[in-house]
Amino acid sequence: MSDRILVAKVGLDGHDRGVKVVARILRDGGFEVIYTGLFQTPDKVASAAIDEDVDAIGLSMLSGAHMTLAPLVVAKLRERGVDIPVVVGGIIPAPDAAKLAELGVAGVLTPGASSDDVVAIMRAVIDRSRAEAVG
């Protein structure tokens, strides 16, 4: 059975070409991908992730709202008592990556990440999450 990843666009960012490319990369990398579409709220993303029983969440963020919206998704998951790792990709300034990690984000993909990088980071995040759940 393939690992399942929910991919979402949170907030008012209407650019979806990149997220669709990433979804295809993940599918080609062996993941089952659930794409929720544009204009999702943190609450809807958390609910969909739980309903779909995913192993990770990928958020595409091009609007500059990553420091607000990504931690809100993490908080909504925690409110529901689940620990699904969240990876953020898009236009993320390097200094923000460490801050996002402090706020509970499991990984960050920045512009220039290769297809292999995308698959490897998602695989590592899922593997780390499983190891932490066991240990």
What are the tokens at 58?
């990928």
Nearest to 124 by CA among 135, 112, 111, 109: 109
Give the model confidence (pLDDT) of 47-80 as tens digits. 999 999 999 999 999 888 899 999 999 999 999 9
Q: What is the CATH number of the domain that holds 85?
A: 3.40.50.280
Q: pTM, whole model, 2 decimals?
A: 0.95
**Count of domains for the chain:** 1
pLDDT given for residue 71 in this prediction: 97
- The domain in which residue 83 lies consists of 4-134
